[in-house]
Amino acid sequence: MCGILAVLGCVDNSQAKRSRIIELSRRLRHRGPDWSGLHCYEDCYLAHERLAIVDPTSGDQPLYNEDKTIAVTVNGEIYNHKALRENLKSHQFRTGSDCEVIAHLVKHGEEFVDMLDGMFAFVLLDTRDKSFIAARDAIGITPLYIGWGLDGSVWFASEMKALSDDCEQFMCFPPGHIYSSKQGGLRRWYNPPWFSEVVPSTPYDPLVVRNTFEKAVIKRLMTDVPFGVLLSGGLDSSLVASVALRHLEKSEAACQWGSKLHTFCIGLKGSPDLKAGREVADYLGTRHHELHFTVQDGIDAIEEVIYHVETYDVTTIRASTPMFLMSRKIKSLGVKMVLSGEGSDEIFGGYLYFHKAPNKKEFHEETCRKIKALHQYDCLRANKSTSAWGVEARVPFLDKEFINVAMSIDPEWKMIRPDLGRIEKWVLRNAFDDEKNPYLPKHILYRQKEQFSDGVGYSWIDGLKDHANKHVSETMLMNASFVFPDNTPLTKEAYYYRTIFEKFFPKSAARATVPGGPSVACSTAKAVEWDAAWSQNLDPSGRAALGVHVSAYGEDKTEDSRPEKLQKLAEKTPAIV
């Protein structure tokens, strides 16, 4: 990941303004510590902080077309850049950067954005008429904010901290949208069939699911620097690691860095993730790095985490903290890119509260809502927690083609049916249940879902709650609606995070970038209605899914406990032969 900042149409174009742009861009340097670039044209500025992943020697930004009339600053990866270059043979390229194609594709008009296969946020300036466009990838894997200055200037930045002080108003740039100075305002360029939330009817084909996912992983092995896989030992990260390992030997990355895959896992000592991660790593034969942290380590990092991740959402902070700590260790080992398993739970209904979905229509609509909100939660966490230390996270489950395939399946197949041997994400598990050429051990393939903040060790969340209880009094919480009338915190933990957030980002526009509303086990507010008991137990932890999680609050909390019925599901489920 890189960091971008663009200021267009500002009244002041003095040396002092240039210095201010450089100062603000420096706030993003953690995202791109390898090089800095700045393009100035009259009253327009494009700044860039680079994390060099592809073409480290010549791919510095901003990037240009042949005569430099087009300048672009990009944060992201364009996985189909070689295919796009084939259709641009009459153009002269200056670098080997995957992002340079953007400066040339604009000849197709603004709708060229839909041709890009990757994760990205960019701002493109045409100096011939001083028109500009900005765009963000389909799901919002790559962060982007938009702001407006009192002088009429329009601002874009990878993180809020680079524009919040200088903009009168700002907001999160919506995923799958483009901003055009010519056409005025924002419009959505990403319009897949599932976006309408109409229930699909395509029959489930496990081989199509498997093949599409393998392609998604393979294209993300595009790198000129050392990389690895975040491996918690859960289904999603384990499949990413297994598929990556199978195809690593044939990839360009193996030619440079060898075919030994590095995997990384973090947790409190004795946590479920550490145990499962080690088991999967041993099975696959990866070079595994097991990282430990204590509850106090995490608590000490909370302020930094909130500054970098730019949220006060409880579940995001809980999960971001161990990921933030792990990313620092990963960077110290010389690794700059990792593959991660975000997105699967939203696409396949993997969160435990999906057990209570009343019918396939509501199941499908909830998955659609969850995918549309990913940029505010898991995408934000995965990107900013890793970028805080100059590490890039790639997420194969959020591949455009894979999402289209998975979201076209009749949701009846995704419904959780223990009577048929189907637990959460059965569609995905079954697709990789290959007895002839196994991807994973069967008990790992059918391991119950653990949210990242739970899997690192249940005492992590309990420790956070205890810490917040010591710093937030009953009186403070009672008066929360007066202190924080917008998105009022309902728990001491939420109140504690909010006070830290407000210290760094005091403007009302900043607090409006964070979503709110009731949630249980990471559900949307709408899904809380599925079970009357949930409204009395609103907590984003998976253990709040009473009657579903094997270690639910108020039930047996032994971390290795597992009901007999779950152990038998793997035996009941037929494999693909």
The neighbour count for residue 144, using CB atoms within 10 Å, is 27
Instruction: Tell me which DSSP letter residue 225 carries.
Output: S
2 classed as catalytic: yes
At 452, the amino acid letter reads F
Of 322, 329, 319, 384, whose CA–CA distance to 1 is shortest? 384
* pLDDT score recorded for residue 549: 57
- pLDDT score of 59: 76
Q: How far apart are CA 460 and CA 271, in angstroms?
A: 10
- How many CA atoms within 13 Å lie on the side-chain side of 164? 23
pLDDT tens sequence across 27-77: 999 999 999 999 999 999 999 999 999 888 887 899 999 999 999 999 999
Question: Over the range 39-72, which residues count as b (16 or more CB within 10 Å of their CB) and which as e?
Answer: bebebbbbbbbbbbbbebeebbbbbbbeeeebbb
Per-residue pLDDT reduced to its tens digit, 514-547 = 998 888 878 898 999 998 888 777 766 655 555 5
Which residue among 2, 10, 44, 99 is the active-site one?
A: 2
Quote the DSSP letter at residue 384: H
Beta bridge partners of 187: 178
The number of beta carbons lying within 10 Å of the beta carbon of residue 246 is: 16
pLDDT in the model for residue 550: 54
Query: Sheet harboring 145-148: ordered strands across?
Result: 35-41, 44-50, 3-8, 154-157, 145-148, 169-172
Torsion over CA: 404, 221, 381, 444 (sign): positive
Give the 3-state secondary structure of 315-356. HHHHHHHHHHHHHHHHHHCCCCEEECCCCHHHHHCCCHHHHH
Q: Kindly give the parts of the chain with pLDDT less than 70.
A: 252-259, 449-455, 457, 539-577
Q: What does the pLDDT read at residue 122?
A: 98
* Annotated binding-site residue? 341: yes
How far is the C-alpha of 10 from the C-alpha of 154, rounded, in Å? 8
User: Which residue is listed with tokens 């007066």?
Assistant: 482
Supply 34's token pair: 């390898």
Which secondary-structure segment (H or E) carries 503?
helix 492-504
Place of tokens 């019925």: 565
Q: Which CATH superfamily is domain 3-191 in?
A: Aminohydrolase, N-terminal nucleophile (Ntn) domain (3.60.20.10)
Q: Determine the pLDDT at residue 570.
A: 45
Q: Flag whether 266 is marked binding.
A: yes
pLDDT (0 to 100) of residue 447: 82
**Residue for token pair 């094997």:** 550
Which amino acid is it at 55? D
> Does 118 carry a binding-site annotation?
no
Q: One-letter amino acid identity for 253? A: A
Query: What is d(CA 105, CA 102) in angstroms, rounded to the nearest whole number?
Result: 5
CATH architecture of 195-544: 3-Layer(aba) Sandwich (3.40)
Q: How many whole angstroms separate alpha carbon 97 and alpha carbon 76?
A: 11
Half-sphere exposure of 140 (CA within 13 A, CB side): 21
- Residue 532 CB burial class (10 angstroms; 0-12, 13-18, ≥19): exposed
- Pairwise CA distance, residues 47 & 38, whole Å: 4
| 230 annotated as belonging to a binding site for a ligand | yes
Contacting residues for 89 by C-beta, under 8 A, at least 6 apart = none
What is the pLDDT at residue 519? 85
Q: Where are the domains of the chain?
A: 3-191, 195-544
21 known ligand binder: no
CA distance 141 to 11: 33
Q: How far is CA 378 from CA 343, 385, 456, 522, in A?
A: 8, 10, 16, 11
